[in-house]
A and B are shown apart, each in its own frame.
Chain A
Amino acid sequence: MTSAPNTYENILEIKDLQTSFFTKDLEVKAVDGVSFTIPKGKILGVVGESGSGKSITSLSILRLIEDPGKIVGGEIRFKGENLLDKTEAQMRKIRGNEISMIFQEPMTSLNPTFTVGQQISESYKIHQGLNKKQAKERSIEMLKLVGIPSPEKRVDQYPHELSGGMRQRVMIAMALACDPDLLIADEPTTALDVTIQAQILDLMKDLQERLGMGILLITHDLGVVAETCDYVAVMYAGKVVEFTDAKTLFKSPKHPYTVGLMKSIPPHDHDIEGDLSVIRGSVPSPAEMPKGCRFAPRCPFATDLCRENLPDLITDEEGNQIRCWIYSDEWNGDPEVDVHAETERTT
């Protein structure tokens, strides 16, 4: 693939993004200072528990946050330009063209009253000015590309006539129609069966290699991240707590939350003795957000420092980032602390 000389290295750079929902009685800081970068042609996985702000981050990138939500701060640099400075008309030219998106629920993300072909064609009509016939031909090609059998027939069918896996393929076809530079996939396989998930991930990786786009893959499944991503950002309560390349993360996770998360997943490829280790308690609600480190109430290593002060995102020698006092000079707990040590295994 030939690419023009570019002045930017990272297809996407997010700096200190803040998105809040202004409800009647409080400001819910759904995304609270998120930063990460996606190098050109790489796959970044964003993981985190439900409500940690993954979807809101991705919707913020396309500026699709709806009332009462608002992006209140930060920068979103796409190909070097801040998307938050763009007008709505400029954004529309980017959406579905340079950045496109796939959503979690293939069942509800397609419009039930339009045919599959009409929905894919729309992108071609909007962004490439093709006429109806040309757009339909291109749609059929796309359907073929994503591995849908007899695409000439499928193109005129309605979403309800397709299985979940096929609908997700249609979503991918639609997203890739205009050859985007960045694909955002928000839990693209969560609603699918494992054998179908394997098909879809395979397809996405294959297309990524062929088309060379960057991918932001949101998921809560660490296995999916391990198998598909180059980099990983772990989110907790609206913040990125760890950002590294995937290999490092799975070999030696650093943040106590990441460590806890990995230990609490029962593996399917080997047995573990006794109980699973757990992270005690549950994710804090927006109304009771701890003022220091957000993980402090659940962290086995928390000290007063953690409970009172929010740690910064520290970048180490290898360029990996972590938000935890243990890795700072100010750390006042056990200097020899080992985050991988056996933690509690309670119910």
Chain B
Amino acid sequence: MQKQKELLKVTDLKQYFPIKGGILGRTVNHVKAVDGVSFTIYEGETLSIVGESGCGKSTTGRAILRLDEPTSGEVEFDGNNLLDYSKKEMNKVRKDMQIIFQDPYASINPRHTVRQILTEAMEIQNSVPKQERNDRVLELMQTVGLGPHQADRLPHEFSGGQRQRIGIARALSVDPQLIIADEAVSALDVSIQAQVINLLKKLQRDFKLTYLFISHDLGVVRHISDRIIVMYLGKIVEIADKKSLFNNQMHPYTKALLSAIPSTNTEVKRERIILKGDVPSPIDPPAGCRFHTRCPFATDLCRTEVPELRNGDGMTDGHMAACHYMEEIKNGEHQPTVV
């Protein structure tokens, strides 16, 4: 891997949501939604976060933008720690970091026309001089594949895929460097989803954008990402470049996750790992390795000792996983402990 510029660096990010209870509404416990997450996004790449519902993907994205105030950690953007910024300074950098949500309809004002939605975003950031805004609106619409005749229509007059295009156009309107896409294509039909994915890739090429792409769909993630983070219960269990992750995954959870996805390729008989039970609650996550309640390889060590994220033997540069036994499982020395 060539040396790239670090655009965003997250260090030991924690996001604990208080649970209120009792007569006085005191904080009785915490949802440990994100619990010590560290990673770096390089300029121009697409880094994806995958994992099951509730593992903390969205929370990580929101914490980076300080849409929720993180409990602790550091988020360095272009060399500055965002968590030290005042509200005003933060608003300024928001111009460089935009977010696109799953449900485009919920995040755009239904009573504003496309023109108003796009102009408003430019006004807030004051990024484009007033007289040029109109031209910019039409240019943006063209960029995302909408026609100029649609500029004065309301969101409900568009289909789901088109609305998502509006959401993307709005994010682009302020010339951001980083776009956080939280399940941006999940709600779309496959034929429409492909259109939007292609659009996102094209925009990345044309404008040198960097993406933090949050999704639970590993097919989409494989297609769009350079590197991938797998999360489980608020922690990163594996991080790797795409090739290593799909061809040489080290963590038992990653393996199970990949094997669980149904495939249209009926020719190859795959071995499926079916995990038992559900994801435990992030309120009192299991001690030791958080995956031990469902992991076929778990031992007493796993139940007490937290495995650290590390680059083990035979793993490419930058490929890290958090499992005590990853090498032994790989070479067959450590066999499943439960049948």
Contact = CB atoms under 8 A, between A and B. Distances in A.
* A and B held together in a complex: yes
A250 B264 contact: yes
A341 interface: no
B156 interface: no
Nearest to A147: B276
Nearest to A166: B278
Contacts of A226: 262-266
Contact of B264 (A198, A262, A275): A262
B219 to A, nearest CB: 4
Interface string A184-215: 00000000011111110110000000000000
Contacts of B219: 265-268
A283 B189 contact: yes
B258 interface: yes
A165 B260 CA distance: 15
Contact of B195 (A198, A225, A347): A347
B252 to A, nearest CB: 12
A48 B262 CA distance: 17
Interface string A67-108: 000000000000000000000000000000000000000000
Given A199-B275, A275-B198, A224 B262 contact: yes
B311 interface: no
Contact of A223 (B221, B263, B268): B263
A220 B189 contact: yes
Nearest to B265: A269
Contacts of A23: none
Interface in A5-58: 49-50
A338 interface: no
Contacts of B53: 193
A165 B278 contact: yes
Given A193-B53, A194-B257, A223-B263, A272 B223 contact: yes
Contacts of A340: none
Interface string B180-205: 00000000011111110111011000
A67 B240 CA distance: 53
Contacts of A291: none
A163 interface: yes
B190 A223 contact: no
B101 to A, nearest CB: 19
A247 interface: yes
B108 interface: no
Contact of A282 (B192, B265, B272, B278): B192
Contacts of A49: 189-191
Interface residues of A, number: 49
B216 interface: yes
B190 A220 contact: yes
A246 interface: yes
A260 interface: yes
Nearest to A203: B274
A201 B260 CA distance: 10
A201 B278 CA distance: 15
B43 interface: no
Interface bracket on B: 35 or more
A276 B264 contact: no
A346 B52 CA distance: 31
Given A50-B189, A165-B278, A220-B190, A250 B266 contact: yes
B270 to A, nearest CB: 8
A197 B191 contact: no
Contacts, number: 134
Contacts of B279: 193
Interface in A267-296: 267-269, 271-272, 275-280, 282-283
A227 B263 contact: yes
Contact of B194 (A50, A194, A251, A264): A264
A278 B194 contact: yes
B93 interface: no
A179 interface: no
A165 to B, nearest CB: 6
A278 B257 contact: no
A195 B252 CA distance: 13
B198 A276 contact: yes
Given A194-B216, A276-B198, A283-B189, A265 B264 contact: yes
A195 B264 contact: no
Contact of B265 (A267, A276, A345): A267
B52 A193 contact: yes
Contact of A261 (B191, B220, B259, B266): B191
B218 interface: yes
A223 B190 CA distance: 12
Interface in B321-336: none
A152 interface: no
Contacts of B216: 193-194
Nearest to A224: B262
A268 B191 contact: no
A250 B268 CA distance: 12
B94 interface: no
A223 B258 CA distance: 13
A247 B266 contact: yes
A261 B190 contact: yes
Contacts of A199: 274-276
Interface of B: 52-53, 145, 159, 161-162, 189-195, 197-199, 201-202, 216, 218-224, 242, 246, 256-266, 268, 272, 274-276, 278-279
19 contacts: A195-B257, A196-B278, A197-B262, A202-B272, A220-B190, A226-B263, A226-B265, A251-B266, A261-B191, A265-B190, A266-B194, A266-B219, A266-B224, A267-B222, A267-B265, A268-B219, A283-B159, A283-B189, A345-B198
Given A250-B266, A269-B263, 16 more contacts: A49-B191, A193-B216, A193-B279, A194-B52, A197-B262, A198-B260, A221-B262, A222-B264, A227-B266, A250-B264, A265-B264, A266-B222, A267-B263, A268-B221, A275-B198, A275-B202
- A-B pairs, top 10 by smallest CB distance, nearest first, are A223-B262, A266-B223, A264-B194, A198-B260, A279-B191, A268-B219, A193-B52, A276-B194, A49-B189, A347-B199
